[in-house]
Amino acid sequence: MSIPAFGLGTFRLQGQVVIDSVSTGLALGYRVIDTAQIYENEAEVGEAIAASGIAREELFITSKIWIANFAKDRLIDSLKESLRKLQTDYLDLTLIHWPSPDDQVPVEEFMGALLEAKRLGLTRQIGVSNFTVELMQKAIAAVGAENIATNQIELHPYLQNRKVVEFARRQGIQITSYMTLAYGEVLKDPVIQQIAARLQATPAQVTLAWAMQSGYAVIPSSTKRANLQSNLKACDLQLSEADMALIASLDRGHRLTSPKGIAPHWD
């Protein structure tokens, strides 16, 4: 895997809340941090990272380009602004956050600009987020599958997005699962609760372990130290093939994120 399997998400966390979450995560051993321009927390994430004293080469930092910055004369400047806020010279991974609404900026334009950012050393890897199979095909045509490290998509036991996953895998593109716990909905699932009880684990640990054993990277977020610490233990949890099959059977196409005017026509 070209990107780490386990990281810390910062979606919906701002101000002191995100500073505390990232600071605590780093103190507990997290080394992968995921943010985005639209989260409006890059400066605070950068502040927490700087205060941690952890060497830059030990960290893996991801951010995402917002749709307002897709044009080739905007994308690189916006990335440089993200770097300034994050107090770093480069990102480890930069993603296109959502496809351009109504194709206002063609895929080949923003992917070309993102690849140029990689060539300039502003980011080590590039990728996409919330891309359908059709959009991935366009991105591959623009820059080649070898230049697309990941497609970060909503993926949890209730939305397993198999069509997108299977296409990405055939192309050698890794999948990053966001919202792996489905805003906590899957933690109440009787199947997941039963597996958790048997393994003396939490439902969150079981769900995160399922995603990682399925080959996906995960970026759960939390504002609570106990949860941040507990989630880390998912890395050591092993599910049986039977457990994996039980969780695979929970898929119901239950999508939680589909912002009007931005979301593509989902597969």
What dihedral do alpha carbons 12, 15, 21, 27 form, nearest 10°? 150
pLDDT in tens, 148-196: 999 999 999 999 999 999 999 999 999 999 999 999 999 999 999 999 9
> Helices (DSSP H) in 185-254: which residue ranges?
190-199, 203-213, 225-232, 241-248
pLDDT in tens, 116-133: 999 999 999 999 999 999
Looking at residue 137, its amino acid is Q
Q: Look at residue 1 and tell me whether its pLDDT is greater than 70.
A: no
Question: Do 110 and 65 touch, CB atoms closer than 8 A?
Answer: yes
Q: Which of 30, 39, 178, 216 is catalytic?
A: 39
Report the pLDDT averaged over residues 28-51.
98
Question: Which of 33, 48, 125, 101 has the alpha carbon at shortest distance from 258?
Answer: 101
Q: Look at residue 147 and tell me whether its pLDDT is greater than 70.
A: yes
> Helices (DSSP H) in 101-234: which residue ranges?
107-119, 133-143, 162-171, 190-199, 203-213, 225-232
Give me the chain's average pLDDT, please: 97
CB atoms under 10 Å from CB of 164, counted, come to: 23
Looking at residue 138, its amino acid is K
pLDDT for 2: 84
Question: Do 75 and 64 touch, CB atoms closer than 8 A?
Answer: no
The question of whether 30 is a catalytic residue gets the answer no
Question: Do 147 and 124 touch, CB atoms closer than 8 A?
Answer: no
Question: Which of 42, 5, 40, 2 has the alpha carbon at shortest distance from 22?
Answer: 42
pTM for this entry: 0.97
The angle subtended at Cα 231 by Cα 229 and Cα 233, nearest 5°, is 80
Strand ordering across the sheet containing 150-154: 8-9, 32-34, 60-65, 91-96, 123-129, 150-154, 174-178, 217-218
